[in-house]
Amino acid sequence: MKLGLPAGARTECVLFNDFLGNGEVPPLIFEKFPFDQPVYILFTSGTTGVPKCIVHGAGGTLLQHKKEQLIHCDIKPDDRVFYFTTCSWMMWNWATSILFQNATLMQYEGMPLFPKPDVLFEMASSCGMTFFGTSSKFLDTALKAGIDPMNTYNFEKLKTVGVTGSPLCQEACHFVYEKIKKDIHLNVFSGGTDIVSSFCMGNPISPVYSEEMQGFGLGMNVHVYGSDGKELPDGQQGELTCITPFASQPLKFWGDKGNKRFISSYFEKFDNCWCHGDWLEITKNKGVFISGRADAVLNPSGVRIGTAEIYSQVQKVEEVVDCMAVGQKWDNDERVILFVVMRDGVALTDEIKKKIKTIIRDNATPRHVPAKIIAVRGIPKTNNGKIVELAVKNVIHGKEVVNKDSIEDPSLLDDFKNIPELQES
């Protein structure tokens, strides 16, 4: 039976079978290009300014992906690799390079929790998946939904769970080993659109500690710098800085005359060093903990706090399904405001507020405790699922959000305007 276009589909599209049936398939012609031939232009979300149009080179990108996939992820030709991603996230570009490993690339079209919350786990089992790539938010959602895939499906062939997108909380780490598979490699990595790859990654030979990435990528000369441009000792949080060139360093920004914006974005903060904009520390285990974006770091009474340090504690509160922390200017200082999304049918009571504050105080410090906890209907995120703390911070301070197109549901931003509680001590 020939399938037609579904109701509501765009009429100018062409069905794949119809496309294949039109004309002869031309022969493939492979041309030689320079190593730095542009291959991708990737765009940052641009919620606090004009999006950066980042031009990546073919040779450096391919070498970087080859290194990460072959060495850090241990992907071999007989592996079946899946990474749930949209086409607008740099993990889609990363996933296409899987073909260079001669491995099988698996894809899923649709929402990762539909038609049932464990549909991706069913796919992993039925298709013999060996590498399951996803986001931190997906694992947190699966955890809070009470999914127990270990006792439902067979993951005999599954070797690795890859995770990126945002810091992974302790509970989600435990979920992987307690609800997916006990004998598995949890490979958490962090990088971004800017480098179409990762600065921090796992590897198949080092120990895995909860809430930590195992280390830095090979060839990535990463250090932790303080605001004075000096390297910080292990255990102190600072700026993620790469002090020597790396393979996937972008070529330029499209349309950036004289590379002025390119240089100001990465090289102005510290002399001749790439400053990535992430806030991190090297742990006592020689692992890496990233607590958020440096420009979203909270600063109550001069103490700098990464937002992930608060999120990891709020994750323990079962009445809360999502949250966001931002800093609000108040009384010549900054106070921490925590916005929470409550479970259906659960109201934010004084008792729950006290519970949240107690968990944060007991497991972090009194400085981490929010001055206000406010319930909202949803947390604004980019189309790739990243929390837009800076956009909300601008809204509560009466500033305009420049680019709302990158936000999945821009209407949520209106909920943060003129909140009475933010005008009270």
Whether residue 133 sits in one domain with residue 266: yes
What is residue 298's DSSP assignment?
A: B
High-pLDDT (> 90) share of the chain, %: 80
Q: What is the average pLDDT across 407-419?
A: 94
Backbone CA torsion sign across 343, 346, 348, 349: negative
Q: What is the pLDDT of residue 384?
A: 76
Q: Which domain holds residue 323?
A: 297-423
Report the Cα 253 to chain-centroid distance in Å.
Answer: 22
Boundary of a domain, candidates 235, 268, 292: 292
Residue 17 lies in a domain: no
Asked if 260 and 301 sit in the same domain, the reply is: no
Task: Give domain status of residue 167, yes or no.
Answer: yes
Do 132 and 110 have their domain in common?
yes
Do 259 and 204 share a structural domain?
Answer: yes
Residues 311 and 413 in one domain: yes
Mean pLDDT, residues 222-231 taken together: 95
Instruction: Say how far apart CA 315 and CA 325 lie, in whole Å.
Output: 13
Distance (Å, whole) CA 309 – CA 300: 14
pLDDT tens-digit series, residues 80-132: 999 999 888 999 999 999 999 999 999 998 889 989 999 999 999 999 999 99
Residue 48 has pLDDT above 70, yes or no: no
Q: What is the overall mean pLDDT for the chain?
A: 93
Place of tokens 């255990």: 235
Which candidate, 59, 60, 79, places its Cα nearest to that of 69? Answer: 79
Same domain, 282 and 320: no
Mean pLDDT along residues 402-417: 90
Residue 173, in any domain of the structure: yes
In a domain, 12, yes or no: no
- Select the more confidently predicted residue: 54 or 166: 54
Per the domain annotation, does 22 fall within a domain? Answer: no
* Residues 330, 242 share a domain: no
| Domain assignment present for 27 | no
Mean pLDDT, residues 164-173 taken together? 89
Which residues are within 8 A (CB) of 174 and not within 5 positions of it... i.e. 6 or more apart? 210
Instruction: Give pTM, 2 decimals.
Output: 0.86
Query: Both 75 and 152 in a single domain?
Result: yes
pLDDT digits (tens, 9 = 90+) for 262-316: 999 999 999 889 999 999 999 999 999 999 889 899 999 888 999 999 999 999 9
User: CA-CA distance, 272 to 229, in Å (whole number)?
Assistant: 11
What CA–CA distance (Å, rounded) separates 385 from 398?
24
What pLDDT sits at residue 169? 87
DSSP per residue, 73-129: S---TT-EEEE---TTSHHHHHHHGGGGGTPEEE---S-TT-SSTTHHHHHHHHTT-
Side by side, which strands form the sheet with 238-242? 222-225, 238-242, 274-282, 288-293
Among 237, 265, 292, give the residue marking a domain's end: 292
Same domain, 239 and 136: yes
Our count of domains for the chain comes to: 2
Looking at the DSSP assignment, which residues form a beta bridge with residue 133?
Answer: 83, 162
Degrees to nearest 5, angle at CA 103 with 151 and 137:
45
pLDDT at 7 over 70: no
Answer yes or no: do 119 and 237 share one domain.
yes
Q: Which residue type does 304 have?
A: R
pLDDT(10) > 70: no
Q: What percent of the chain has pLDDT over 70?
A: 97
Tell me whether residue 23 is in a domain: no
Domain assignment present for 379: yes
**pLDDT higher than 50, residue 199:** yes
Outline where 135-253 has alpha helix (H).
136-144, 170-175
CA atoms within a 13 Å half-sphere pointing along the CA-CB vector of 364? 24
pLDDT band at 1 (very low <50, low <70, confident <90, very high): very low
Q: Which residues pair with 241 in a beta bridge?
A: 223, 275
Same domain, 218 and 116: yes
How large is the average pLDDT for residues 29-44?
A: 95
Peptide bond into 370 cis (omega under 30): no
Task: Indicate if the pLDDT at residue 14 is higher than 90.
Answer: no
- For the record, the structure tokens of 18 come out as 């119809």
Domain match, 252 and 322 both: no
User: Does 272 or 324 have the greater pLDDT score?
Assistant: 324
Token digits of residue 311: 């999120």
Which pLDDT band holds residue 50 (cuts at 50, 70, 90)? confident
pLDDT in tens, 339-354: 999 999 999 999 999 9
Does residue 3 register a pLDDT over 60? Answer: no
User: Among the three residues 260, 292, 324, which one is the final residue of a domain in this structure?
Assistant: 292
Domain containing residue 82: CATH number:
3.40.50.12780
pLDDT over 70 (residue 47): no
Taking residues 323-352, report their average pLDDT: 96
Predicted pLDDT of residue 2: 47
pLDDT at residue 61, as a whole number = 98
CA–CA gap between residue 235 and residue 306 (Å, rounded) = 14
Name residue, tokens 């921490």: 336
Selected residue with higher pLDDT from 214 and 145: 214
Please check whether residue 272 is in contact with residue 245, taking contact to mean a CB–CB distance below 8 angstroms. Answer: no
Q: What share of the chain is helix, strand, coil (3-state, %, to 5)?
A: 30, 25, 45
